[in-house]
Amino acid sequence: MLTNVVGDLLPSALGVALSPVPIIAIVLVLGSPRARSQGTAFAVGWILGLVVVSVAVVLVAGANEPPDEPSAVVGWLKIAIGGLFLALAAKQWQSRPVPGSEAATPAWMDAIDTMSAPRTLLVGAALSGLNPKNLALTLAAAATIGQAALSGSSTAVAIGVFVVVGSLTVAGPVVVSLLAPERSARPLASIKEFMSAHNAAIMMIVLLLLGAKLLGNGLAAV
């Protein structure tokens, strides 16, 4: 049962990890004079955001949903999120920058490398736990865990897998930068440049694949 749940939530976890905005943000943080403290704070905030939302949804889903049709409830949730993602993928493609122009970055991102560590932690938590796309994916994954009737330890493992996979692209660069700051500077800059240039296309592909996957899983469950 645990392996089935983990396999079901992995696409959602990968969708959380493949978010261009937080990847660009963490690279900016790691290029600041206070890279060690700010980078660690951002990664901790990101992980905390995923953990808090995941645990909350698992507790609510496991306690309040009717026991006779748990798969149908989760199925309809996935259908709704999958349909939303397909619509967002189409919108993302329509709003992509014209060839030769640069995508506008959020105003807060221009100042993230000058933020204090506590504020950077809050930004990381908000990007992981309150970002609409990540929130929807976390809801879908956590609802699946909550409705699977797993033991306490298996539930913790499933949440842990989701958080670890969803944090790879944020916590991973922090660890690499702390271990080898000079050697990691150029690769991280290249990643930032690629993500900035292809933000719309990356998000469109991620939303399209996740939307189709969640929609298919939802239809199979109902």
Encode pLDDT of 153-187 as tens digits: 899 999 999 999 999 999 999 999 888 888 888 88
Q: Would you state the pLDDT for residue 42?
A: 94
What's the structural domain count of the chain? Answer: 1
Q: Taking a C-beta distance cutoff of 8 angstroms, is the pair 30, 169 a contact?
A: no
Q: Would you state the pLDDT for residue 41?
A: 94
Provide the 8-state DSSP code for 115: S
CA–CA separation, 220 vs 222, rounded Å? 6
Within a 10 A sphere around the Cβ of 137, how many other Cβ atoms?
29
Q: Taking a C-beta distance cutoff of 8 angstroms, is the pair 128, 166 a contact?
A: yes
CA angle 103, 107, 109 (to 5 degrees): 85
pTM to 2 decimals?
0.82
Encode pLDDT of 39-67 as tens digits: 999 999 999 999 999 998 888 766 555 44
Q: Would you state the pLDDT for residue 122?
A: 93
Residue numbers of the chain with a pLDDT score lower than 50: 66-68
- Domain with 45, as residue range(s), is 2-221
